[in-house]
Amino acid sequence: MGGGALPVMIFPARKKDFYFAANTGDEYFEFWNGLWRQAEEALESSARMVICGYSLLPVDERAHDLLLNGPRKDAEILVASGDDTKRILSDYKDGGYAHARAADEVFFEKWVAHWSSSAVGTH
């Protein structure tokens, strides 16, 4: 029996860095940084970004900065985040995103049905 437990990757304390220190160096650091780089590249090349059900709070620093600074300035940004929608839209407008708006559909199933039945590039 004496095996050790697997380490926790996401700590409940302070900032969530998604890696842990080990005697061989920071574990999972490059893995998670690689995912963040892929997300950044996807945002830079996307014509449309949708925020659905995410509060985009500044306390989540890395995601907040990526989502507010990563998209192209001419990208369409649709937000469906309940009571947070107006604040999020204000953040995007202040950041120079002229095509940020509240999503017409706020129910996920209806949103998917709308966009899946639409031709790509018509919205």
Per-residue model confidence as pLDDT tens digits over 17-28: 555 565 666 667
Per-residue model confidence as pLDDT tens digits over 23-52: 666 667 788 888 889 999 999 999 999 898
**Burial class of 51 by CB neighbour count within 10 A (0 to 12, 13 to 18, 19+):** buried
Q: Does the pLDDT of residue 7 top 70, yes or no?
A: no
pLDDT reported for residue 8: 40
Average pLDDT of span 45-66:
92
Contacts 24+ apart (CB under 8 A), 104-108: 105/80, 106/80, 106/82, 108/52, 108/53
108 falls within a domain: yes
21 falls within a domain: no
7 falls within a domain: no
16 falls within a domain: no
The total number of structural domains in the chain stands at 1
Q: What is the DSSP letter of 107?
A: S
17 falls within a domain: no
Domain of residue 106 covers 47-117
Q: How many Å apart are CA 113 and CA 46, to the nearest integer?
A: 21
Specify the higher pLDDT residue, 103 or 115: 103
Q: Does the pLDDT of residue 105 top 90, yes or no?
A: no
38 falls within a domain: no
